[in-house]
Homo-oligomer: A and B are copies of this chain.
Amino acid sequence: MGVEADTRATGSRVGARGSLYAQLVLIRRFEETLLDLFAAGKMSGTTHTCIGQEANAVGVVACLDAERDVVVSNHRCHGHYLALTDDVDGLLREVLGREGGVCGGKGGSQHLCAPNFYSNGVLGSTLPLAAGIALAQRERRAGGLATVFAGDGTLGQGVVYESLNFASLWKLPLVTVVEHNGYAQSTPSHLQLAGDVEARAAAFGIATERLDTTDVAEVRGAAERAVAHVRERGEPFFLVVDTYRFAPHSKGDDFRDPGEIAARRERDPLTVAGERLDAEERSAIDAAVEERLERAVAEALAAPVAGSAS
């Protein structure tokens, strides 16, 4: 773990990110690989994939400065983590419980930490945390901000509104990104959310924007506006992206209407972004990702289980 610790300390985990499309593919294939590993019994515990929602992680994080901005994430955090850190090995080994995991196998899928990244599986509790990190950014006066990703179902938690109140009162550099995929686990939003989601933040005097897209470019555009608002005015911003997850909530059963899923798959963010590349370039990227993941998986499965070294 010595080396791990070093790279973490120096923050060098934050690698050079590939093109937006390359990041989308990496996240997609990484998580599909996890589901395969589960099916193959090579992995235990739980995992929540963002398959179908990758454009949010990639588009938003593309607007952040990985050296000074902070990302706070939730149970569905792999995409956010990879978009910020590109740390395939550290994440893969973490979820597989092998030596070299970014949290030594202690955190697992939902509890990741790296320089400028923190996730926790307790819904809502991350918003005050992010507000506190934003307070630190404000006090440090280096122009950094905090971004927190939350799902639509998480808007049921009262701490979300406490945090919005603080963010507005204290002028915290905080971007809240709601990934509104229409469901919380098995429950559709209309059984969970009354009124208007944007209005909930606006009521606290916070600027908001909502867009319905799986186009990483559009997400990045909105995120740029949000980040600019926060950096220039030193005020929070609340961004809602309507999206959809193609895979089950975790590994379990999925009772959503297959037709609904199929319809949404037509707006697959990889297709939308991929169509902008010429076929050659695209398949080159795809191939590179495959190769990288294959190697990572092979090495991870060859590594000793967490704790056996220490």
Q: Which residues of A contact B (CB under 8 A)?
A: 156-162, 164-165, 168-169, 191-196, 199-200, 202-206
Which of the residues B192, B196, B203 comes within 8 Å of A195, measured between beta carbons? Answer: B203
A-B contact pairs, 21 of them (CB 8 A): A156-B162, A156-B165, A157-B162, A158-B158, A158-B160, A158-B162, A161-B161, A165-B192, A165-B193, A165-B194, A168-B195, A169-B191, A169-B193, A169-B194, A194-B206, A195-B204, A195-B206, A199-B202, A200-B203, A200-B204, A202-B203
Q: How far is the CB of A128 from chain B (nearest CB, A)?
A: 9
CB-defined contacts of A195 to chain B, threshold 8 Å: 165, 168, 202-206
Extra contacts, 6 of them, besides A168-B195, A194-B205, A200-B203 (Cβ < 8 A), are: A156-B162, A156-B165, A158-B160, A168-B194, A196-B203, A199-B202
Return chain B residues, CB-CB under 8 Å to A205. Answer: 194-196
Contacts of A158 in B (CB 8 A): 157-162
Closest CB of chain B to A20's CB: distance in Å? 33
**Smallest CB separation, A231 vs chain B (Å):** 20
CA gap between A62 and B33 in the complex, in Å: 65
Task: Tell me the smallest distance from the CB of A138 to a CB of chain B, in Å.
Answer: 15
- The answer for the CA separation of A169 and B193 in the assembled complex, in Å, is 7
A199: contacting residue among B165, B192, B194, B203, CB under 8 A? B203
CB closest chain-B residue, reference A170: B194
- Rounded to whole angstroms, the CA-CA distance of A140 and B205 in the bound complex is 39
In the assembled complex, the Cα of A248 lies from the Cα of B102 at a distance in Å of: 54
Most chain B C-beta atoms within 10 Å of own C-beta, residue among A165, A192, A205: A165
Those 3 A-B pairs whose CB atoms lie nearest each other, nearest first:
A158-B158, A168-B194, A195-B205
CB nearest neighbor in B for A192: B169
Chain B residue contacts of A206, Cβ below 8 A: 194-195
Task: Please indicate the chain B residues that have their CB under 8 angstroms from the CB of A199 in the complex.
Answer: 199, 202-203
Closest to A193 in B: B165
- Nearest-neighbor residue (CB-CB) of A201 within chain B: B203
Closest CB in chain B relative to A125 CB, distance in Å: 11
Q: Nearest residue in B to A159 (C-beta to C-beta)?
A: B158
Contacts of A194 in B (CB 8 A): 164-165, 168-169, 204-206
Closest beta carbon of chain B to A164's beta carbon, Å: 8
Q: How far is the CA of A196 from the CA of B156 in the complex (A)?
A: 20
In the complex, residue of chain B having the shortest beta-carbon distance to the beta carbon of A166: B194
